Amino acid sequence: MSQRTLVLLKPDAVRRGLIGEIVGRIERKAEWTIQALELRTLSQDTLEQHYGEHQGKPFYEPLMEFMASGPVVALVVDGERVIEGVRALAGPTDPIAAAPGSIRGDFGTIVRENLIHASDSEESAARELKIFFPGLF
């Protein structure tokens, strides 16, 4: 089942020089193709649209501040079961719970600074791709 997903390398990944490491893990999957890749600083408006579902939660404000603290790398990745697949490469949200071998397990520190975002369903992917790459798809 071919799918398309939105991936963000969060500001901690960019600051720590992990772009190549993380993109490499995605790129090496033979069944997947990177369709777009861009370094950019996210506006408050984009972040509100992207993380709107978390508004009102205790971690929302610090999350927004963190996500605006430096550039991110936004990617569009296509391929076989790529939505589930990138989530599996990332590991669980909390790096403490993430197994070695996963991106968050290998490099994660605290739950907020967990290096990578990946769409969690086909509905989320469609919504997020429109926010980050309007007009592209």
Question: What amino acid is encoded at 10 in this protein?
Answer: K
Residues annotated as binding site for ATP?
Answer: 10, 59, 87, 93, 104, 114
What is residue 100's DSSP assignment? B
Nearer to ligand RTP, 43 or 121 (CB): 121
Do 79 and 29 form a contact (C-beta atoms < 8 A)?
Answer: yes
Numbered residues of the known binding site: 10, 59, 87, 93, 104, 114
**Any catalytic annotation for residue 117?**
yes
Which DSSP string do the residues of 60-82 spell out, in sequence order? HHHHHHHHTSS-EEEEEEEEETH
Q: 79, 117, 118, 119: which one is catalytic?
A: 117
> For binding to ligand RTP (CB under 6 A), which residues are involved?
59, 63, 93, 111-112, 114, 117-118, 120
